[in-house]
Amino acid sequence: MLDTSRRTAYTPEHEMFRDTVRKVLADVMVPHLEEHERNGIVPREAWKAVGAAGMLCPTVAEENGGLGLDFGYCAVVNEETCYIGSSAGFTLQNDITAGYIERLGTPEQKQRWLPGMVSGDVITAIAMTEPGAGSDLQGIRTTAKKDGNDFIINGSKTYITNGQNCDMVIVVAKTDPSMGAKGTSLILVEDGTPGFTKGRNLDKIGQHAADTSELFFEDVRVPQENLLGGEGRGFIHLMEELPQERLSIAISAQASAQRAFDEAVVFTKDRKAFGQSVFEFQNTKFTLADLASQLQVGWAHLDWALARHLRGELSTAEASAAKQWHTDMQGRVCDVALQLHGGAGYMNEYLVARLWRDARVTRIFGGTNEIMKEVVSRSL
């Protein structure tokens, strides 16, 4: 269990909510984690169960079916979901897509999508990455051309979280290819729209429970009313959401690193070698002490960043630095935690193996850590 007794970013109300989140995850998710890993997807029944508990999109306003709470409640769900070792796509819906719809959506779009996103009846995705455009979003090639009162979308996306489950996807497309980044728009595409097809559930190194897909758009016709936000302002809208997205990744990285560390402490205290527990060797104790120090710094920094974000003060550079530092730290902690398990750490039956595998991508998605350093350097 995460020790939150010394946290500074949360209120007693947040911690009461955390108790509920833990109980729901223990009932709905923990007994089925291996099944989710094997099947490569979290079933819709689980989404509906966490939605019924108020764990999906808690920031959505009451008039749109939500609880009207602050981002701290999303952060609690993120921490607890990652701490149990799940890569379920709840966090993407809570921390990313819900914000786009609520901030940019028309009243009709909000009423159409947000209540179902809160209940778990609607699962969403955002389609940015393409086979030839990853961190450089200005390089996307998917187009959305006007035809009468419609847009006709052509292109493909890849590495899309919730791609198999999604009922609606926010598509990043060029509405005016001649304008570069200024010609980018966000368009809502519903599952079942003719020409919109989901490719295979991608075979990844880790995060197996997160359905991650290729998406294809071939003459997909949607009404212009599906435009989300301003036409040609898609790149600006994406940049506006980056602080929360990157903070979300930092939160998940910190919680996962803590679980890997906790697993290593338990294992080394239980495992015997040369007549004593592995924990009693000075190398083990000093190694764990070093990890504990890094985690202590991480939690303090995370609470600082969370507090700034809740006040609306977290900058893109600060969030990028958080994403880079916490995911780098996650990689170090998970690798050392696996090492301390010895050969057992290489066995998939041990949670630390999954945590180690799942950690690798966090230095890549949401913008690679090299891009994070570039963003930070521009603020100097």
| 128/50 Cα distance (integer angstroms) | 26
| 367/307 Cα distance (integer angstroms) | 23
* 193 within 8 A of 223, measured Cβ to Cβ: no
| 342/373 Cα distance (integer angstroms) | 33
Nearest alpha-carbon partner for 33 in 95, 83, 106: 83
Catalytic residues: 245
Residues, the chain: 380
| 39/98 Cα distance (integer angstroms) | 26
| DSSP E strand boundaries for the chain | 124-127, 143-147, 150-161, 168-174, 184-190, 196-201, 212-223, 227-228, 272-273, 276-277
| 145/97 Cα distance (integer angstroms) | 23
- Look up residue 85 and give its two tokens: 């070792």
Positive or negative, the CA dihedral 126, 131, 133, 135 is: positive
| DSSP E strand boundaries for 240-346 | 272-273, 276-277
| 380/370 Cα distance (integer angstroms) | 16
